[in-house]
Structure 1
Amino acid sequence: MEEEFVTTTAETEISEESRRSGPLGRLGGWTAIHRRWVFAIWALLVIGLGAFAPSVFNSLAGAGWQANGSESVAVRELAEEHFGGNSSAAVQVVVHSDDQDVSSPAMQQVIGEISDVATTDDRFGEVVPPQPGMTISQDGHTAIVLIGANGTTDDMVKAVDEHKDELTALSGNGIDVYPTGASALWSDFNKANHDAMIKAEMVSWPITLAIMVLAFGSLVAAGLPLLLTIAGLVASAGGLVLLNMVTPISVWAMNFAMMFALALGIDYALFIVSRFRAAMAHRKDKLAATVETMDTAGKAVLLSGLTVLVSLSAVLLVPAPAVRTMAVGIMLAVVFVLAATMTLLPAVLGALGNGVNAVSLPWAKRQQHRSPLFAKWGDLLHRHPWPFAVGSLAILIVLALPVIGLKVAMPSISVVPEDAPVRQGYEVVQEAMGDGAPGALQIVVPDAQAEQTAEVASSTSGVAMVTPPQPAADGSGYVMLQAIPAVDPSDEQMNTIVEDLRTSLPSDALVGGAPAENIDLQQALNDWFPIVVGVILTLGFLLLLVALQAPLIALLGTVVSLLSTAAAFGVARLIFQEGWGSGILGFEAQGFLNGWGPVFFFAMIFAIAMDYTVFLLATAKEHYERSKDPKVAHVDGLAHSGRVIFAAAAVMVAVFFTFALADPLPPKEMGIILGVAVLLDATLIRLVLLPVLLRITGHGAWWSPAWLRRVLPKVSFSH
C-alpha cells in the first residue's frame, strides 16, 4: 500500500509537468516513475543477449571483402563450381626447406600430412599436390600444396582459423610450413586487428574514466556513461551473433561497434547527465528534472542518434558485404546505446536525483551548467568574429589541401605482422618464384578460346608467365589459366595488367584471382564514394532542417562538417601515404590509404561532426526561442554546451588515439584519422567557426519562410 501511494503521488506531481512537455519529456517521466519495469526489461535484454556476446568474435564472418556482381567474383564462383574449389579462396600451404628439395622423403611426408589435415574438414575441397613448372620453384626447395575451397569465403577463413596452428605445427627437421592465400591472409589479418582493438579498448577505458571524473567532478556521474555504454555494447554484441545466423556479419562490425558505441554512448550520457544536474539545481524535484532533461537534451540526443544512423545507412549502398556489415554493426550498437540513453538513463537519474553528485570531488560543487569560461569565450567570439573565422578557416584549408593527391588501394601484405605465417609464406614464395607468384590471376574461358587466350595473356605487358590451360573436371567446357604477374600483387601496375587482360582477351574470357578481387572492390568503393557522400550530405541537411526549422543554419551546419573531414584526410595523406611520422608511430607507409577509408571513415567522421553540431545548435536554438536575441543564442548556446562538447571530444580523441598505438595498420589509420577529425571539429569548428557563423548571420540564422514552417513538423527545444 505504501509503495502504491508513493507511486500515485509521484504520478500526480509529474502529471502537470508532463502535459506541458513533448513526447520525449513524457517518456522521461514515465521511465522515472516506472523505473523498476525499465530496469527489469533492460536486465532481461542484457542478460538474454549477453549470453551470446562471449562468442561474438568466433561467430562472426571473416571475409566479405569483395564487390558483389564483379567479374572477379564471377571467376571465383566458376572456379568453385567447376575446378575443384581452385579459387581465390583456396588455401595455399607453402612448404620450404633450405637443404632438402620437394622430392626428398621428408618433404613428401610433410606434403602427405598436409593432405591428411585437409581431409578432416568438409570445408576443404580437392587437394592439388605441388606441380612442376607451376607450384614448385626452379631450385625445388619451395613448393605449394593447394587445398581447394569447398565452402564460402567466410567458411574458408574459419577453416584456416581452426587448422592453421595444426598446419604450421608440421614444421620441423629443417622444413617450414606456412598457410597462405587470401583465406589465410584474412585469418591472420582479422586476428591481428582484433587483438589490437582489444588492447586499445583496455587502454582507453581508464583514460576515459579519468576524463569523465574531471568533467563531472563526481564518480557516480562519471560512471553512468560507462555503465550505459557497457549495457549497449553487450546487447549489440549478442544482437550481432543472432543477426549472423540470418546473414553473414563481418567480425570487423564488432570491432568498430565497440569503439563507436563507447564514444557515442559517453557523448549522449554527458549531454543528458549535464542537463539533469542543471535541472536539479533549480527544481530540486528529480521527477520534474527528468522530464525537463528529456524534453530538451533528449531531443538533441535523439536527433544526433538519427543523424549517425542516417550517415551510416548510406554506406549500405556500397555492394561489398564486409563494408555493409561494418556499418550494420555500428548502427546496431548506436540503436542500443540510443535506446539505453532514452529509457535506462532517465530511469536511473529519476532514481538518483541529487545522488548523481555522490562521491564528488572538491571542485564539483562549484560547477555550473552555464560555464563562465565558455560564456567569456562566446563573448570574445561575438566581439571579434572575423579574425576567428578567417583564422580557423585558414588552418582547416591548409590541412585539407593535401587531400587532392590522396591515393587509395586495398591493403598490402605489410599490414599483417611480420611474424604472421601468411606473411612469412608470402615472402618465401616471392623469393623462390618471383614477386608476383603470391598473386596469380585466374582466367576462366571456354575451351575453344583457350589457345588464343594463352597467347594473348603471355604477350601482355607485366605478365611473367601463363600456366597451361587446365580443363574443368566436370566436363563443363571451361578451362582455367593462371597468369603470374611480374610485380607484387599490391603494386600499382596490377591495375594496368588486369585492365589490359580484360580489354585484349577474347570476349568470353573472365579475369579474376585475389589481386583482381581487390581491384574490383577498390573500383566499386571509388564509384560509390561520391554517391554515398551526396546521400549523407542531403539526409544530414534535411534532418538539421527539420530539427532547427531554419534553412541557413542547417545548411551551414552541414557544410562546415565537410571541413573537418577534408582536413582529417589531408593529414591522413601526409602520415599514411607520404610517411610523415611513420617512425614515431611505428609503421611502414604503404604509399596509399587503405581503400575502404574514404567511404567508411567519411560516414563516421560526418556522423560525429553532426553529433556536436546538434548539441551546439539545439542548445543555441533553445535560447533563441526564449529570448529572440541572436547574441543570447550564440553566447548562451556556447556557455551551456561548450563544456559538454569539450569533454565529449576529449573522450573521443582519447578513445581514438589509443588505436594509434596498435601494431596493425588499419586500426592505426582509423584511430589517427578519427582522432584528428574530432580534435579539429571540436576545437576549430564547433567551438570557433560555427559560433562565429551564428554571430555573423544574426537573426538570419534562425529565419524560416512561412511556407517552410507550414510544411515542416513543429520541433521546439525549449521547455
Structure 2
Amino acid sequence: MTSNTAEVDKTRAARADGDGQPPTASTGGLLGRLGAAMVGRARWVFGIWLIALVALGAAAPSVFTSLAGAGWQANGSESVQVRELAQEHFGGNSSAAVQVVVHSDTLAVADPEVQQILADATAVFADDQRFGEVIAPQPGMSISPDGHTGILIAGANAGTDDMVKAVDELKGELGELSTDEIEVYPTGASALWSDFNKANHDAMIQAEMLSWPVTLAIMVLAFGSLVAAGLPLLLTMAGLIASAGGLVLLNTVTPISVWAMNFAMMFALALGIDYALFIVSRFRDALSKSGDPRAAVAETMDTAGKAVVLSGLTVLVSLSAVLLVPAPAVRTMAVGIMLAVTFVLAATLTLLPAVLGKLGTKVNAGSLPWAERQQHRSPRFAAWGNLLHRRPWPFAIGSLLILIALSLPVLGLKVAMPSIEVVPSDAPVRQGYELVQEQLGEGAPGMLQIIAPASEAEATAGAAAAVDGIAMVTPPQQTMDGSDHVMLQAIPGVDPSDEAMGSILTQLRSELPEQALVGGAPAENLDLQQALNDYLPLIVGIILVLGFLLLLVALQAPLIAILGTVVSLLSTAAAFGVAKLIFQDGHGAGLLGFTPQGFLDGWGPVFFFAMIFAIAMDYTVFLLSTAKEHYERSGDPKVAHVDGLAHSGRVIAAAAAVMVAVFFTFALAEPLPPKEMGIILGVAVLLDAVLIRLVLLPVLLRLTGHAAWWSPAWLRRVLPDISFSHG
C-alpha cells in the first residue's frame, strides 16, 4: 500500500460523527446527516418551502416591471458628475433627459401644426414630477438646417432608473401624437434603455420558452425515467420563483437592474439542472445497492452533495469579484445570479433530498425501455477512460492545439459599449436617432456636455471648438438657479459609437480649462468602458486565486488544484476567440441574423469571464471530486482516473448538453447582447465539456499519477479534513 493510501486510511479512522464515534453507514458526515434529516422531516421541509415560494412567488410576477432599467455608469466618474450638475442647475438637461424628435417632410417646425404637436408633447410632461424644464427646439441648436426637424428636451428631475420607467409609461402616449404628416419619436439615453430593455425581455422570455422542452427531452434521454427527468425542472422552478421574488424585495432596498433577472433565469435553469443531475444520478445508484431511501440520500449527500456545495461556492466566489466594478448594472447582474445560485443550492441541499427520500424507488417511475440497462458506472465512459490511459499524448496534444488555435484571435479583440444597433430597427428610439443623424449631422445624437465656471465660458468654448473632431459648440447656457456655472454642448463629427470618440473625449478633457468637466451619454459609455478595462485584470486575478483555493481545500492536493484552475482558462480564452471571429469580424453574422458592430460589448470580458470560469469549475468539481472519491477508496491513480470518468462522464455530458441548449436558444434573440451572451457561453460550455473535462483533464490525471493527489504533511494539517467517500 502506498503512503497516500495509508494517509487516506488514517484520515478515515480519525473522522468522527460529532460525538467522537465513527459515522454510521447510513448517515456519514455533516451533509449525509443533513440529507437524512431532510428525509426524516420531509413534511417540515415541504411546508417551509411552500410558504417561502408562496411568499416570494407573490412578488415574482412584477419582477420585470419593478426592477431598475438603467445603471450603466461608472460611479464617481467625471461624466456622472456632469449629469448630476446638469440635473441640479440646468433644469435636468442631462444625459438622462428625454429628447422628443418631431419631423415632417412637408411642414416646418415653425408651422402651426408642428407647434401644436410640440405643445401636446410638452403637456405630456407637465404633470409628471420626474421631469424638469421642457426646452422647445432652438434654431441653430436643436432645429435642423432645413427647418423640418426639431428636438424638444424634457429635463430629468429624477434618477436614471426612474427616468427609464418614465419613458416606459409615456412613450406610447408620445408616439400617438404622430400624424400622417408629422412623425414623433422619443429618443435619448433613457428612451434607449427603455426600448432595449423591452426587446431584451421579450427575447429572454422567448429563449426560455424554447429551452424548457429541449431541456426536458435531454433529461429524459439522460435518466430514462420521466419522474427522474422532472426533478431537475422542479428544482429549477423553485429556484426561479424564489430568486424572482427575492430580487423584487431586494429592489425595495437598493435598485437592481432588470438584467439581473435575465441572467438569474439563465443560471437558475442551467445550474439547477446541473446539480439535480449529479444528485439524482448518484441517488439512483445508491438506492440500487441499499434499497433504503434514507441511507441512499445520506450517501448521495455525503459524496455528490459535497461536490455540489463546492461548485456553488465556486460560482458565488467568481461572481463576487464582479462586485468590485463601480457600475450599478454590472454589480446587480452579479447579485441576481448569486441570489439564484443561493436559492438553487438551498433547494438542492434541502428540498431535493426530501423529495428523493419520499419517492424512493418511484424515482424510476415512467422508465423508458433502455433505462433498466443504464448503470451509474458507464461502460462507454469507462472504455473512453481506458483509451485515454493507454494513449494520453495524442489526445492531450490534439485538444491543446484546437484550444490554442481558437484562443489566438482573442489577441485582436476590441471592446466598446453597445451602439444604437443593439435595439431593433423598428424601435422608436432608433428611428428617432437615425432621423437626428440624417437631419442634424452624424454626431448630433451624441452631444457632449461641458459644464464650466461662468468666468471661463469663453475660454472653454474656444478650446472646445479647436479640438479636432468637434463639429460645433453651442453658445454657453446659463443656470436656472443663478449658480456660477455654464453649460455648452459640443457636437462631435462622428457617430457616438465610433472608435474616434475615445480620442475626441480625451483631447477635449485635456485641452479645456482645469475646472471644466465633460459628460454626456457618449462620455458616460467611455468612462464605464475605461472602468471595466481597469478592473478586468484585478477581477481575473481574484477569481483565479479564489478558485484555486477552493479546489485546494476540497481536493487537498495542490498540483491538481493548480491544473484544474489553469485549464479552465483555456475554454474561456477559446470562447472569447470565437466571439471575436463572430461578433467583431462578422463570420456567420448572416446565418445568425445580426449586423456586426466591429467590437464585443464592453461588459462582456469582465462578466463573461466570471460566468465561464464559474461554469468550467462546475464541471471540474464534478469530475475531480468523483476521481478523488475513487482514489480515497483504492489509492490507485488509474482507478481514480478511469472510474472518475466512468461515474461522472455521463452526468457531465448531459449537463453540458442542457447548458449548450439553454445558451444557444439565446442566439435566436434579435437584440445583440443576449445573442452574444448565448453564443459565447454556449461555445465555452461545449469546448470545456468536450475538450477539457472529458479529454484534457483526465489525461492530466493519467500523466501526473500519484502526484496529482499528493499533499505535503504541513498542508494537510492546515486544511480542513474533507473526504468525498462515504462511510
TM-score class, shorter-chain normalisation, is over 0.9
**1:641 lines up with 2:653 in the alignment:** no
Give 2:449's aligned residue: 442
Please give the alpha-carbon distance, in whole angstroms, between the structure 1 residues aligned to 2:607 and 2:416: 14
| Other structure's SS at 1:52 match | helix
Choose which of 91, 101, 104 in structure 2 pairs with 1:94: 101
Name the aligned partner's letter for residue 358 of structure 2. A
Please give the alpha-carbon distance, in whole angstroms, between the structure 2 residues aligned to 1:123 and 1:182: 15
Q: Aligned-pair distance for 1:480?
A: 0.3
Choose which of 657, 669, 688 in structure 2 pairs with 1:662: 669
Q: Aligned-pair distance for 1:16?
A: 6.8
Residue pair 2:225, 2:371 contacting (<8 A) in 1 also:
yes
Give 1:269's aligned residue: 276
Choose which of 289, 296, 300 in structure 2 pairs with 1:293: 300
Residue pair 2:131, 2:154 contacting (<8 A) in 1 also:
yes
Please give the alpha-carbon distance, in whole angstroms, between the structure 2 residues aligned to 1:324 and 1:65: 10
Give 1:226's aligned residue: 233
Q: Deviations over 1:315-336 (max 9, x none)?
A: 0000000000000000000000
Please give the alpha-carbon distance, in whole angstroms, between the structure 1 residues aligned to 2:372 and 2:126: 69
Residue pair 1:18, 1:25 contacting (<8 A) in 2 also:
no
Give 1:12's aligned residue: none
Q: Deviations over 1:37-66 (max 9, x none)?
A: 000000000000000000000000000000
Matches within 5 A, 1:622-701: 622-701=629-708
Residue pair 1:18, 1:26 contacting (<8 A) in 2 also:
no
Q: Deviations over 1:555-604 (max 9, x none)?
A: 00000000000000000000000000000000000000000000000000
Q: Which moved more, 1:16-25 or 1:325-334?
A: 16-25
**1:523 lines up with 2:523 in the alignment:** no
Name the aligned partner's letter for residue 453 of structure 2. P
Q: Deviations over 1:443-475 (max 9, x none)?
A: 000001110000010010000000000011111
Q: Deviations over 1:293-318 (max 9, x none)?
A: 00000000000000000000000000
Please give the alpha-carbon distance, in whole angstroms, between the structure 1 residues aligned to 2:220 and 2:234: 14
Long gaps (5+) in structure 1: 1-14
Please give the alpha-carbon distance, in whole angstroms, between the structure 1 residues aligned to 2:177 and 2:76: 39
Choose which of 199, 210, 231 in structure 1 pairs with 2:206: 199
Name the aligned partner's letter for residue 152 of structure 2. V
Choose which of 473, 476, 479 in structure 1 pairs with 2:483: 476
Q: Deviations over 1:130-155 (max 9, x none)?
A: 00000000101000000000100000
**1:280 lines up with 2:293 in the alignment:** no
Give 1:498's aligned residue: 505
Matches within 5 A, 1:504-583: 504-583=511-590
Please give the alpha-carbon distance, in whole angstroms, between the structure 2 residues aligned to 1:173 and 1:568: 49
Choose which of 148, 153, 168 in structure 1 pairs with 2:155: 148
Long gaps (5+) in structure 2: 1-21
Q: Aligned-pair distance for 1:20?
A: 5.7
**1:431 lines up with 2:438 in the alignment:** yes
Give 2:320's aligned residue: 313
**1:391 lines up with 2:432 in the alignment:** no
Name the aligned partner's letter for residue 207 of structure 1. V
Alignment TM-score, normalising by the size of structure 1: 0.98
**1:334 lines up with 2:341 in the alignment:** yes
Give 1:11's aligned residue: none
Residue pair 1:399, 1:570 contacting (<8 A) in 2 also:
yes
Give 2:13's aligned residue: none
Give 1:358's aligned residue: 365
Residue pair 2:64, 2:258 contacting (<8 A) in 1 also:
yes
Give 1:214's aligned residue: 221
| Other structure's SS at 1:362 match | coil
Give 1:117's aligned residue: 124
Q: Aligned-pair distance for 1:19?
A: 7.5
Give 1:240's aligned residue: 247
| Other structure's SS at 1:17 match | coil
Q: Aligned-pair distance for 1:21?
A: 1.1
Give 2:193's aligned residue: 186
Q: Aligned-pair distance for 1:99?
A: 0.2
Over 6 Å off, 4+ runs: none
Alignment TM-score, normalising by the size of structure 2: 0.97
Please give the alpha-carbon distance, in whole angstroms, between the structure 2 residues aligned to 1:557 and 1:284: 36
Aligned length: 705
Please give the alpha-carbon distance, in whole angstroms, between the structure 1 residues aligned to 2:80 and 2:315: 32
Give 2:6's aligned residue: none
Give 2:606's aligned residue: 599
Q: Aligned-pair distance for 1:125?
A: 1.1
Name the aligned partner's letter for residue 378 of structure 1. G
Name the aligned partner's letter for residue 266 of structure 2. M
Please give the alpha-carbon distance, in whole angstroms, between the structure 2 residues aligned to 1:29 and 1:651: 29
| Other structure's SS at 2:370 match | helix
Residue pair 2:27, 2:33 contacting (<8 A) in 1 also:
no
Please give the alpha-carbon distance, in whole angstroms, between the structure 2 residues aligned to 1:75 and 1:431: 27
Q: Aligned-pair distance for 1:663?
A: 0.7
Residue pair 1:221, 1:357 contacting (<8 A) in 2 also:
yes
Please give the alpha-carbon distance, in whole angstroms, between the structure 1 residues aligned to 2:293 and 2:65: 44
Please give the alpha-carbon distance, in whole angstroms, between the structure 2 residues aligned to 1:277 and 1:469: 75
Please give the alpha-carbon distance, in whole angstroms, between the structure 2 residues aligned to 1:147 and 1:242: 31
Q: Deviations over 1:396-442 (max 9, x none)?
A: 00000000000000000011100000000000000000000000000
Give 1:376's aligned residue: 383
Q: Deviations over 1:49-90 (max 9, x none)?
A: 000000000000000000001000000000000000000000
Give 1:159's aligned residue: 166
Give 2:10's aligned residue: none
Please give the alpha-carbon distance, in whole angstroms, between the structure 1 residues aligned to 2:64 and 2:711: 49
| Other structure's SS at 1:51 match | helix
| Other structure's SS at 1:603 match | helix
Name the aligned partner's letter for residue 611 of structure 2. M
Q: Aligned-pair distance for 1:173?
A: 3.1
Name the aligned partner's letter for residue 559 of structure 1. V
Give 2:12's aligned residue: none
Please give the alpha-carbon distance, in whole angstroms, between the structure 1 residues aligned to 2:538 and 2:443: 34
Choose which of 455, 461, 471 in structure 2 pairs with 1:454: 461
Please give the alpha-carbon distance, in whole angstroms, between the structure 2 residues aligned to 1:697 and 1:139: 75
Give 1:82's aligned residue: 89
Residue pair 1:17, 1:288 contacting (<8 A) in 2 also:
no
Please give the alpha-carbon distance, in whole angstroms, between the structure 1 residues aligned to 2:137 and 2:165: 24
C-alpha RMSD of the superposition? 0.8
Residue pair 1:204, 1:658 contacting (<8 A) in 2 also:
yes
Please give the alpha-carbon distance, in whole angstroms, between the structure 2 residues aligned to 1:337 and 1:576: 32
Please give the alpha-carbon distance, in whole angstroms, between the structure 2 residues aligned to 1:313 and 1:20: 33
Name the aligned partner's letter for residue 571 of structure 1. V
Name the aligned partner's letter for residue 526 of structure 1. N
Give 2:356's aligned residue: 349
Evaluate the alpha carbon distance shift between residue 247 and residue 18 of structure 1 in structure 2; reply closer, same or farther with a 3 A threshold.
farther
Residue pair 1:18, 1:29 contacting (<8 A) in 2 also:
no
Please give the alpha-carbon distance, in whole angstroms, between the structure 1 residues aligned to 2:652 and 2:32: 23
| Other structure's SS at 1:103 match | coil
Name the aligned partner's letter for residue 225 of structure 2. S
Give 2:412's aligned residue: 405
Give 1:67's aligned residue: 74
Give 2:471's aligned residue: 464
Q: Aligned-pair distance for 1:17?
A: 3.4
Please give the alpha-carbon distance, in whole angstroms, between the structure 1 residues aligned to 2:588 and 2:149: 38
